[in-house]
Amino acid sequence: MAGVQHYRMALDPAIQKLGTMTTNRHQYFRWTARSARINFAFVVAVPTILGIIAYKADGKWDFRAKRKGDLISEF
């Protein structure tokens, strides 16, 4: 049991570089056409589409107090 301490993890330079890069990612970010499109899609387009779908489906179905054979659609 003497010698190498097995509970310590050897430092891998690639893992250290990845950790540093992940920590400092905000310092090297640039707005490009691609990053602007991606951000627009996830900040504006996706919530808008989900909101429209939710608004159209609001009150369409009622799952409470239904018996066997009853319809779940309200209209």
CA distance 75 to 59: 9
Residues 52-62: tens digit of each pLDDT: 999 998 878 77
Instruction: Give the integer Cα–Cα distance in Å for 65 and 31.
Output: 53
pLDDT of 30 above 70: yes
φ and ψ at residue 55, rounded to 5 degrees: -65, -40
Q: pLDDT tens-digit profile of 8-26?
A: 667 888 989 999 999 999 9
Which has more pLDDT, 3 or 42?
Answer: 42
